[in-house]
Structure 1
């Protein structure tokens, strides 16, 4: 693994992360805007990336913006939003050619940085607000995005599991917002929220590529400045959820393949020392094709079309996904729970543990082969408020013992069972109980 250097500096209420690397022939700039999830603002926040991509003051249409990217030797630009723990992150990404590799071109990076700056700070406006036509059009785009999840039954089942499991918690808020909010949103509302975001969001800017650190640091801090910063008054604190018994929910739809999704509380997050043991636990349990869920639920007993698990590292959840025949619900659930029991009893070999470690390390190394992957890995530290480099992460994975994996497994509690089925499946009595 190549040596990864990250140099950070704070200026004008922005944290700049410079990552010099000769491994790539492009320069990647990513601006991350982080704010607490909040039901009252999430739909506006989800809508904002769609609006900002439609043009800037200098390039007032999506077509003109695309032509300018072509002029910058095919630079690529994207904006998206996602949920991490109890936060919502908007990411602005620009990949531009490194002028070192272009003859007689010394301004490509400068122009790229300025374009990204203007996309964020100088969007195209009409009468000092977002164009009404643009806002209305992009509301329809977001509405289609929100509704599309209903057709993706795996994603839908996962959303419904989180809805039920985290019903009274911040984490249940949908990162794409809510259709019922869209009609009331006007251009002036969106612009007011946009100005609020620029003032209140935690902002981190990453720049990765082959460059001179001091020169790039001076260049980027001169372009990206924050005139005003106001600490957000949104609260993230919430009470810990303790269930006396697991929550059980059945939903009936006209579907061929039932979805059995099960949520556990890990009582462990990225911030905790035993997170590395949890990471390996998940690999052994359901994270890889050699894991217990795949081998026993799918291959040995043929009870699932797929069966896997993943961890929500900033929230402390373990989610199991499985696609099953409706009539196989009870047997599939029983065998899934047997795999959890086996993990808590240490029923896995040293060779399985070492193989899983190698798979995790291989995944990290593969991520480090991509500029955006590197930035995402480093940004985990910001979300968790814990500094740990990829090299340290790998070292900690290698150190984990079997006893530590069993210890973290015993902390995991079943929280919610969600079954999306047809009328022939579970819940024949009409009750939401499985």
Structure 2
């Protein structure tokens, strides 16, 4: 079946999504592996790809691994780990030049599949588990990444606000895991959890480039052909949360500038027909430089060094981030709440509507220029079960007026106020 140009099928227990196109000079390959966020596995799942990228059965040393990518005309290989709704997702990416642009004896698409298949399913093993030195080094890599969040107070405050707001939900967990768990991870138990992860994950493989679904399916069977159970679909157990009372959390650390973050709950998620209204709401509230938070909190009142908002459509959560002088806390909370009330009251200018539409239009049209953006947009569909092309979303956004934004605003309820302040205050 086809959607947005992607053709969808299944092979070797994976869902396969192919966009045959001559628009790009490269093949973009993306493999998503998703599992539910879970305190007992989140850290080992995050650590596994760091160890996998160190060496495989054929390329046991990291230098050989990198040289192999060079032989494939400098193919790019990388991975990301993030959360979408209550899932932890590992995304492996490869970017390989199209065969027709180089004099290559072998099919570069085929060789890339061989490489990615090996990274994922044939890691380097010693005595039946991962190489101990790789596990030790990569444990420190992940530890440093988690420590970097604590040192970056803007990121730290954003994470802590989510942690406090979602303290009873898996979503509180950071996709890179928890520092406290790292020391308990051994080469043996990491290999066990990697095997369980690989067998339990929902797998979606994407290819954008000058190929066909038939060719991709053959390559998948050849290079990933293992007895993997058929990938299930993502299931959303989303239940709108009704806020009983706003919770305020204050934390003292050695900071010069206060960080005021707020978390909001909404009943609107990506699959909802009102999703475009929620995008517009976030854009007018704090998504762009013309937004209410930026103009009123930062520019008019000079209360904040930065002030913006984000909306996570897979979780039904909005967040507000701002940096303020600690003595301005009360004033800043009041003026941010006033912007929320303005939207609920429908006080939205034609200029705010048209500027926000222009910004969203730019973002959606940029998707067409990047193979990985096209992939990521279609993956939202796999996650949410909602069939909606970028063009359809754009048309929905264009049709939205102040009334629809006001209706969306009514669903956004302030849940948590988190304030990170200095110790000497």
State the TM bucket, normalised to the shorter chain: over 0.9
Please list the CA deviations of residues 214-264 of structure 1 after superposition, one character each: whole Å capped at 9, or x if unmatched: 3344334443334132889x9985875433210001111121111000111
Q: How does 1:4-403 map to 2 (within 5 A)?
A: 4-229=4-229, 237=237, 241-403=241-403
Contact map agreement 1:56 1:65 (CA 8 A) in 2 = yes
For residues 214 and 112 of structure 1, what CA distance do their matches in structure 2 show?
16
CA contact (8 A) 1:269 1:313 kept: yes
Name the CA distance, whole Å, in 2 between partners of 1:393 and 1:424.
49
Query: C-alpha distance in 1, partners of 2:56/2:47?
Result: 17
Cα deviation, 1:53-96, whole Å, max 9, x if unaligned, reads 00111111211111010011000101221111100001111111
> What is the root-mean-square deviation of aligned Cα atoms in Å?
1.9
Secondary structure at the aligned position of 1:305 is classed as strand
User: d(CA) in 2 for partners of 1:45 and 1:183?
Assistant: 15
Q: Secondary structure at the match of 2:204?
A: strand
Residues 106-163 of structure 1: CA distance to partner in whole angstroms, max 9, x if unpaired? 4222111100110001111112211112112211111111111111001100111011
Task: Give the conservation status (yes or no) of the 8 Å contact 2:357–2:397.
Answer: yes
Preserved contact between residue 5 and residue 19 of structure 1 (Cα < 8 Å) = yes
- Mapped partners of 2:239, 2:255: distance in 1: 37
**Counterpart secondary structure, 1:144:** helix
* 1:15, distance to aligned residue in structure 2 (A): 0.5
Structure-2 residue corresponding to 1:431 = none
Question: How far apart are residue 42 of structure 1 and its match?
Answer: 0.3
Q: TM-score, normalised by structure 1?
A: 0.93
Gaps of 5+ in 2: none
Q: For residues 180 and 230 of structure 2, what CA distance do their matches in structure 1 show?
A: 29
Larger CA deviation: 85-94 vs 4-13? 4-13
Q: Secondary structure at the match of 2:353?
A: helix
Structure 1 pair 280–255 and aligned structure 2 pair: CA distance change class (3 A): same
Q: Report SS of the residue matched to 1:302.
A: coil
CA deviation vs aligned residue, 1:309-336 (integer Å, no higher than 9, x gap): 0001111111000011111111111111
Q: After superposition, what is the alpha-carbon deviation per residue over 1:329-375, rounded to whole angstroms, capped at 9, x for unaligned?
A: 11111111111111111111223212211210101212331221111
Distance 2:403 2:98 in 1: 48
Q: Give the equivalent residue in structure 2 for 1:429.
A: none
**Could you tell which deviates more after superposition, 20-29 or 207-216?**
207-216
C-alpha distance in 2, partners of 1:142/1:59? 23
Give the Cα–Cα distance (whole angstroms) in 2 for the partners of residues 121 and 380 of structure 1. 25
Cα 1:131–1:236 change in 2 (3 A) is farther
Q: Which residue of 1 aligns with 2:407?
A: 407
Mean Cα displacement is larger for which, 363-372 or 32-41? Answer: 363-372
When normalised by structure 2's length, the TM-score is 0.95
Q: Does the residue aligned with 2:9 lie in a helix, a strand or coil? A: strand
1:287-318 superposed Cα distances (whole Å, 9 cap, x missing partner): 00000000010011100001000001111111
Question: Does the 8 Å CA contact 1:35/1:201 hold for their aligned counterparts?
Answer: yes
Q: Do 1:18 and 1:208's aligned partners in 2 also have CA atoms closer than 8 Å?
A: yes
Secondary structure of 1:39's aligned partner: coil
Give the match's secondary structure for 2:347: coil
Report the secondary structure of 1:161's partner residue.
helix
Q: 2:203–2:231: 8 Å Cα contact kept in structure 1?
A: no
Aligned to 2:256, the other structure's residue is in SS state coil
Aligned to 1:430: none
2-structure distance, mates of 1:92, 1:378: 16
* Distance in 2 of aligned mates of 1:137 and 1:300: 49
Gaps of 5+ in 1: 426-434
Q: Is the 8 A contact 1:21 1:208 kept in 2?
A: yes
